[in-house]
Structures are given as structure tokens and as C-alpha cells.
Amino acid sequence: MAPMALIMGIVNVTPDSFSDGGRFLRAEAAIEHGVRMVEEGAAILDIGGESTRPGADAVDASEEIDRVIPVIEGLVNAEVAASISIDTSKAQVAERALAAGATTVNDVTALGDPEMAGVCARAEAQVILMHMKGTPRTMQADPTYDDVVAEVSEFLAERVAVALEAGIAKERILVDPGIGFGKTVDHNLELIERLGELKALDRPIVFGASRKSFIGKIGGGEAADRLGGTVAANVIALERGADVLRVHDVAPAREAMLVAEAIIGGWQWAGYGPRT
């Protein structure tokens, strides 16, 4: 059975990401990690050179470029069987990454850089538009909403319109509700429970809850110990209509996804036909 969703593997080329900061700062280590993720089932590799964890320090474009371009070039040269995404909010970084072989821009500010939309349109890149309340430095300072799902949906609809106006083709636009980006535990849980409402935007939904702090607040454990909670969130999101699952742990995420899809979509295994 062909999978209904894609796995996006996270490759943090940073010293300070919340879950694996520094592990893949060396280009060689990041490239090896990306190759291994593709072998485990990742269809997309998301390369990031600036941490977006709460309170993270900003990184200038030149340093971000120095971190990510060797990794993108190394993965392209390795001919990995996956597309490459650049996780950046800077048009300058996106332009260099797209020239190096990336085909998707994952922008946590949803085209906040006024040059970003033009860069993506000219390159005919895919764009992931994410909701974030504030900035990584301020987003967890008492975020409030009257209706978190309605407000996230309204924001994403407006940013999709901006992308279309800039010349980005509709079929190249994806949306991400921004789990953990300016949301409390309750906000995150409500977004996951009502994720299906975002299907009204008529765009593929990217879902990223991997190792997020709300999982630790519910089940305990540090970032590296949140695999079970991540899998649970991913399975629920898949059932609610997620199209791309952004994860640190590709192999268990893929296994859980395939089993969940078999249950949701009707099983077909060892000669048995689909469920009726």
C-alpha cells in the first residue's frame, strides 16, 4: 500500500537546537545523518542552520549559509533519493540553498522576509508556510488566542494569498500550524485534535510535533525521551489529515505511519484483500 503521508527528516546543522544541538554541526556528520534518514524512509530532508527553539539566539545570513550549503551540496552529490528542504526565514539563505539543490523552502515566518516570496517564485520552489505567534525569542511569552484553530487558519489563508499574489503556484504551497511556536500545551492539543479543520485551506498540511516540549510536559522526560509521545501525536495527526510528518526519528515514525495507514485506510497484507 502506498503511504498516504511523507516523512520529512530533520537535519539540524546547529550548535543549539533543543533536541540535538551540536550533534550534526559538522557537515560530514550532517550528511551522514541525512543519508541514514533516507535509508530509513525519509522522502524529504529539512536542513536548518538556525535554531528556532524558544529563546534561541539569532544567526546572521552568512553564518547560516556557511552551515547549510556544504550539507545540501553533499547530499546532492550523494544522490540521495529524497528532496531537500531548506529551513530558513531569510531570502538570502533560501536563494543560495535553492541554487545548491534544495527544492523546498520551509519558512517559520511564512514569507516574513519581503524578498522571500520572489525568491521562491523565481526558483519555482515549494514553500511551507508556518504559523508562529511572535518570534523564536518571544513566542512563548504568555501566548493567548480566542480560538487557536480559527486564528491559525485565518493567518495561513492570508499567507497563502500572499504567496499566490507573488507568483508561487498553488500546487507548490504547503501549510504548517506551527505546533509549539507560540502555543501553550492546551493550544497544541487543540490544534492536533482539530487539525482536520485546516483541510479547508485546500493545501497539504505539514505537521511537526517531534520531541516538542508539550510532550514532555504531559508525559515527562527530556527531548531525547519523547519518542512515544511523538509517535502518538503523529498518528493522531495522520488520522486528522496530515500530509507530511516532520520528525527527528525516521524509522519509528515510518513504521507507526504505515501501521496507522493500514488501519485507517483498510488493510491488505499476505494475500488478504482490503477491509470492507
Measured in degrees and rounded to the nearest 5, phi and psi for residue 99 equal -65, -30
Strands 206-207 and 173-176, by their bridges, are unpaired
- As a whole number of angstroms, the distance between CA 68 and CA 79 comes to 17
Query: Amino acid identity, residue 146?
Result: D
203 is catalytic: no
Query: Amino acid identity, residue 224?
Result: A
First to last CA, the chain: 16
Q: Please report the sign of the dihedral spanned by the C-alpha atoms of residue 60, residue 67, residue 9, residue 53.
A: negative
Q: Work out the number of other CB atoms within 10 angstroms of the CB of residue 272.
A: 8
Residues β-bridged to residue 205: 175
- As a whole number of angstroms, the distance between CA 16 and CA 67 comes to 13
- As a whole number of angstroms, the distance between CA 51 and CA 53 comes to 6
- As a whole number of angstroms, the distance between CA 258 and CA 235 comes to 10
Catalytic residue among 212, 226, 240, 254: 212
Catalytic residue among 90, 183, 246, 254: 246
Measured in degrees and rounded to the nearest 5, phi and psi for residue 206 equal -95, 135
Task: With CA atoms as reference, report the closest residue to 90 among 60, 134, 70, 127.
Answer: 60
275 is catalytic: no
Residues β-bridged to residue 44: 8, 83
- As a whole number of angstroms, the distance between CA 257 and CA 5 comes to 8
What is the set of active-site residues? Answer: 212, 246
